Amino acid sequence: MNLTEITLKETKEGLKKGKFSLQDVVTAFKNRIKEKNKEINAVISVVSDFRENKNLPLYGAVFVVKDNILVKNEKCTAGSKMLEHYIAPFDATVISKIKDAGGVIIGKGNMDEFAMGSSTESSAFGATKNPLSLSKVPGGSSGGPAAALASNMCNTAIGSDTGGSIRQPAAFCGVVGMKPTYGTVSRNGLISMSSSLDQIGPLTKTVEDAETIFNVIKGKDKYDSTTVDIHKKGKDKLRIGIPKEYFVDGLDDRIKKTIDKAIEKITVNLEEISLPYTEYALPAYYIIMPSEISSNLARFDGMRYGLEKGRPASDSILDAYLKNRGDSFGREVKRRIALGTFSLSSGYHDAYYLQAQKVRSLIFEDFQKAFKKVDLILTPTTPNLPFNIGEKIDNPVSMYLSDIFTVTANLAGLPAISLPCGEIDGFSVGAQLIAPRFCEEDLFNGAKMLEKIWWK
């Protein structure tokens, strides 16, 4: 048995029956990282310490954690030179829960700098490659954890999702990626990108494994005032809606055909629905998100946080500030800070930011109306297959379009999951399920049903 290729559930069963030890599992993954990481560049740093906690829900779970989530006494770079030498002083709440449940953190995953990107090419520590084809991107911004999981460097991973950063790389790498309802998982210890959009969630090999992780990391946290303890009981019968706005020009014909074939296999009630404000989601997202970035990244000045380059006596504080941020932030980070600062500036706030927030409300109302008719909504996860490394890095608008099917769930605060529904030329095609707020039970039940139908 290859311990790096089995699922979390299978690992737990093998440990319980005494077929192998946790040390065997951890050693196998460490050896796999040594073997594969040089060519894939999915893991930035390896975490060596772990505790043996038997008979716990995550005993046997070995994680690669996105490098914007704090793990005590380990580096947390957020993929940026600004935090290249930053050591986390405490565990993020999700990390504490994982450790308390018996999980092992084996490594920190590469990512787009400060989670800004859809390809994991903007990392200051080099691009991550897609294990399915080393010439392709793994998606982003959680490309490192997704690629690590897909290449068997771990049996589960943790990422953050602001506009699709878990689900899009899950689709590109052929794994399962889940974004919870906003407020169900604590963001304490997550280096903020966009505070009203960010959520932490699992990447796994199966839907059942994702559910196992979610049930451990969810819950109210005194360190995050946005968290709540709300859980809606699942329904016996599920109706699935197919939004016509997601099957339009811009969607790769091959993906459309694959999704259509997958839909034909579904035996539960299907209904065509409309989400008319979908076309405005991406423009609204790319105003709201950079505006919050502009505020959240103001703290990184190289003096209180981040890389301290020193300030000669002749330099003013402003000169030092500009030098530290100018030298330490990458191009995409600077682009989004500038865009956000402009959107919030005097004379433009009402015209851009306020209007984007109004569109956000309309998008949420769209979903509320749709969920009166159906229980889940099925869409493609991405409009295209994995693209070549370097293909879109100089074309930000083309790169931003990678998020076109995923940003709506973040804007509305809804739970969503991506799972493989077919293959094209060796690449996985991801299908996305979206549920009403706090209806994770329905989301997982629907996804497990589809997983059985599509991969039986």
Furthest-apart CA pair in the chain: how many Å?
Answer: 73
Which of the residues 80, 119, 151, 165 is marked catalytic? 165
The mean of the pLDDT values for the chain is: 94
- pLDDT of 313 > 60? The answer is no
Is 66 labeled as catalytic in the residue annotation? Answer: yes
pLDDT at residue number 284? 97
pLDDT, tens digit, for every residue of 220-254?
999 999 999 999 999 999 999 999 999 988 899 99
Place of tokens 């052929």: 174
Cβ atoms 133, 386 nearer than 8 A? yes
pLDDT, tens digit, for every residue of 55-97?
899 999 999 999 999 999 999 999 999 999 999 999 999 999 9
- Under the banding of pLDDT at 50, 70 and 90, the label for residue 321 is confident
DSSP class of 175: S
pLDDT at residue number 303? 74
Which of the residues 66, 108, 179, 392 is marked catalytic? 66
Domains of the chain: 8-230 (3.90.1300.10)
CA distances 269 to 54, 309, 377, 443, 448, Å, are: 42, 61, 12, 15, 16
Closest CA to 145 of 16, 123, 404: 123
Alpha helices in 141-252 (DSSP H): 143-150, 167-173, 207-217
- Under the banding of pLDDT at 50, 70 and 90, the label for residue 263 is very high
Residue 365, token pair as written in the block: 């109302």
- Under the banding of pLDDT at 50, 70 and 90, the label for residue 312 is low
pLDDT at residue number 55? 83
Instruction: Over range 35-60, report the average pLDDT.
Output: 90
Which of the residues 96, 141, 328, 402 is marked catalytic? 141
Is 141 labeled as catalytic in the residue annotation? Answer: yes
Instruction: Over range 417-438, report the average pLDDT.
Output: 97
- Under the banding of pLDDT at 50, 70 and 90, the label for residue 41 is very high
pLDDT, tens digit, for every residue of 175-197?
999 999 999 999 999 999 999 99
